[in-house]
Structure 1
Amino acid sequence: MSKEFREFLRKVGSGTHTSKSLTRQEAEMATIMMLKGEATPAQIGAFMIAHRIKRPTSEELAGMLDAYKLLGASIAPIAHERQVLVFGSPYDGRSKTAPVSLATSLVLAAAGIPVLLHGGDRMPTKEGMPLIDIWQALGINWRDRAITDLHKALEQQHLSFVYLPQHFPLAQSLVPYREQIGKRPPFATLELMWSPYQGNQCIISGFVHPPTEVHIREAFAMHGISEFVTVKGWEGSVDLARSRTNIIGINHGDHFERVILAASKYGFSNQDPAIADADTIANYITTALKGEPSEYLNSILWNCGFYFWIAGLATDISQAIIYAQEIIDNGLAMQKLQDLQRS
């Protein structure tokens, strides 16, 4: 048993009236001890559930992010004039709507915008569809690649994926606790914020609840992260919905702007594509990248329009949607998919 970790546990788990939040340094040390297995399984499970009940503070999340930056996967900067867009979506996957972030990433990469995604396998407690399964169904295997290969893919193909079990096994070792405690621990919020990339970047963090966005913004400020976007997307992901208004926060330097976007304003219906198995979604993607009309293609165009605009490739979203359609019609997005399948 770790006596040092027991003090952290006593601090956060003392109850409604006497529990206290950890300092940033304490949260970092507690996270390191959990990742390295220096805390016992009983201590780790107790900490996760106590911390969830107490609710993490922005300072604690900043400390946890310190630990992930110290021990996590690290991709060196690439030689590129544009910011890398790092997509932070929930690791526990999707159970209602079909992900479009993979297809969006392929179109962005075809336009020369580098994109980095990260995630794992099916994750408790939701056990939703993970992105890695769809990549595999598309014929792209990120599971066995070395970090150097991921860097090469990001630099040459403008697209890469960090796979938690292979590239950050310390974090993967904490996954079984999620099933055992039956609740999302604060690490689920941390994954929306964490970036494995070390160069010039813009972090895109999905969220569901407004307090989560506040914590993300405040923790980023503590880390000096000033280029980021928060998206209240499908099921907490970075995918913009068409069936409802999207609440977005855009931070550049010391300026934060709130943006409210509705797909109907840009001529799209309110129909979001429903979840399906990985092979079916892979078929949706390849069909859409061939330019064949579908509601799934419309969701790709809607999302690409937003992210092209964020990346500065268009002065407004309407223009960006047209540009995304041109990338697809010219076969560049399908070519990008084929290049990744061969690499």
Structure 2
Amino acid sequence: MSNVFRELLKKVGSGNHTGENLTRAEAATATQMMLLGEATPAQIGAFLIAHRIKRPTGEELAGMLDAYDELGPKLQPVSSARPVIILGIPYDGRTRTAPIAPVTALLLAAAGQPVVMHGGDRLPTKYGLPLIDIWQKLGVDWTNLPLTKTQQVFEQTGIGFVYTPQHFPLTQAIWEYRDQLGKRPPFATMELIWCPYAGEAHIISGFVHPPTESMFQVALGLRGVTKFTFVKGLEGSCDLPRDRTAIIALSQAPQGIERLLLSPHDYGFITKNVPLGTTEELLTQIQEVLSGKPSELLQTALWNGGFYLWRSGICLDMRSGIAKAAELLTSGAVDKKLQELRQIINSADNTLFQQV
């Protein structure tokens, strides 16, 4: 048993009257000790559930991110006119609404905006459809790439994917605890604002509960992050909803936020989300979007693409962003980016990089 971890556990697990929040340094230490297995299984399980009940603070999230920075992988800086976008999406996937994030990433990359995504396989507690499965169905398999090859793909295509089972295996043990506990620990919140990129970044994170937004702001502020976007998106993702007004927080200097409310109706979109069917059905829908064929999912792609093209600074406003998204999709530029990605990942030298 670790006596150091025992003291940290006592702070978060002592209840409303005597419990205390961890400092940033303590949160970093606790996270490192859990990832490295220096705390016992009983201590780790108790900490995760106690911390969930207590709820994390922004300072604690900053400390957890510090530990991820210390132990985890990072893609190295690439040449870009704008900060690289990091899309933070719940790792346990989607179960109700069709995800559009891979199309958004392809669209942004086709317009010259680099994007980094991160995540793993089907994971607890939702075991929903993860991004990695969608990419695989599109013929893009990130799962066997070492970080060196992922870096090369990122440099050549403007899209990178940090696949945690391969690039950050220390996190796998925490997922086992999460499955056994049946609840999302604060790690799941922190992952949404994790940045596995060493250069200038624009953190874009989805969230569900309003208090999460303020925690994000504090955590990123402590870490010196000045460019961020928080989206109350579909199932906690970065995908803008169509069935309601999108609630968005934009970073605004100095150390503030600008509230943005976007109504789909104001831009000619029907207020209806596309439901998630089978993975095969989603693949067919995405292929239709990439060909520019009219569909409900195409409307979702335009709604999201327009916003992110504007937010990244490529377009001056939402309407020009939507028009640009339509042009990129109907011209075949987004599908061409997918073909480029496939070709590079499946290139003849792939075996060489797998041995690195």
Same fold by TM (over 0.5)?
A: yes
Deviation at 1:279, TM superposition (A): 2.4
Q: Secondary structure at the match of 1:161?
A: strand
**AA partner of residue 110 (structure 1):** A
Give the equivalent residue in structure 2 for 1:190: 190
Q: Secondary structure at the match of 2:22?
A: coil
Give the equivalent residue in structure 1 for 2:205: 205
Residue-by-residue CA offset, 1:24-66 (whole Å, 9 max, x unaligned): 1110000000010101111111000000111111111111110
Residues 90-169 of structure 1 correspond to what in structure 2 (within 5 A)? 90-169=90-169
Deviation at 1:275, TM superposition (A): 1.0
Q: Distance in 1 between matches of 2:339 and 2:124?
A: 32
- The answer as to whether partners of 1:117 and 1:161 remain within 8 angstroms in 2 is yes
Residues 252-291 of structure 1 correspond to what in structure 2 (within 5 A)? 252-254=252-254, 255-291=256-292
2:322 counterpart of 1:321? yes
2:310 counterpart of 1:304? no
Q: Distance in 1 between matches of 2:63 and 2:82?
A: 29
**AA partner of residue 104 (structure 2):** T
Deviation at 1:164, TM superposition (A): 1.1
Give the equivalent residue in structure 1 for 2:341: 340
Residue-by-residue CA offset, 1:244-268 (whole Å, 9 max, x unaligned): 1111011144252110001111000
Structure 2: state its 5+ residue gaps.
345-356
**AA partner of residue 267 (structure 2):** Y
Q: Distance in 1 between matches of 2:77 and 2:275?
A: 36
Q: Distance in 1 between matches of 2:313 and 2:99?
A: 24
**AA partner of residue 270 (structure 1):** T
Deviation at 1:276, TM superposition (A): 2.2
- The answer as to whether partners of 1:91 and 1:188 remain within 8 angstroms in 2 is yes
Give the equivalent residue in structure 2 for 1:295: 296
TM-score, structure 1 normalization? 0.98
Q: Distance in 2 between matches of 1:276 and 1:302?
A: 21
Deviation at 1:277, TM superposition (A): 2.5
- The answer as to whether partners of 1:193 and 1:203 remain within 8 angstroms in 2 is yes
Q: State which drifts further: 104-113 or 301-310.
A: 104-113
Q: Secondary structure at the match of 1:86?
A: strand
Deviation at 1:280, TM superposition (A): 2.1
2:83 counterpart of 1:60? no
2:242 counterpart of 1:242? yes
- The answer as to whether partners of 1:250 and 1:258 remain within 8 angstroms in 2 is yes
Q: Distance in 1 between matches of 2:79 and 2:181?
A: 43
Q: Secondary structure at the match of 1:339?
A: helix
Task: Indicate the percent of aligned positions where both proteins have the same amino acid.
Answer: 53
Q: Secondary structure at the match of 2:49?
A: helix
Q: Distance in 2 between matches of 1:162 and 1:280?
A: 26
- The answer as to whether partners of 1:227 and 1:253 remain within 8 angstroms in 2 is no
Structure 1: state its 5+ residue gaps.
none
Give the equivalent residue in structure 2 for 1:226: 226
- The answer as to whether partners of 1:134 and 1:279 remain within 8 angstroms in 2 is no
Q: Secondary structure at the match of 2:161?
A: strand
Q: Distance in 1 between matches of 2:292 and 2:165?
A: 35
Deviation at 1:278, TM superposition (A): 2.3
Residues 9-88 of structure 1 correspond to what in structure 2 (within 5 A)? 9-88=9-88
Residue-by-residue CA offset, 1:296-317 (whole Å, 9 max, x unaligned): 0000000000000011111110
Q: State which drifts further: 131-140 or 147-156.
A: 147-156
Give the equivalent residue in structure 2 for 1:178: 178
Q: Distance in 1 between matches of 2:138 and 2:175?
A: 26
- Runs (4+) of structure 1 exceeding 3 A deviation are none
Q: Secondary structure at the match of 1:17?
A: helix
Residue-by-residue CA offset, 1:181-225 (whole Å, 9 max, x unaligned): 111000010010101011111000110011101000011010010
- The answer as to whether partners of 1:80 and 1:155 remain within 8 angstroms in 2 is no
In structure 2, relative to structure 1, the CA distance for the partners of 1:325 and 1:252 (3 Å cut) is: same
Q: Secondary structure at the match of 1:174?
A: helix
**AA partner of residue 151 (structure 2):** H
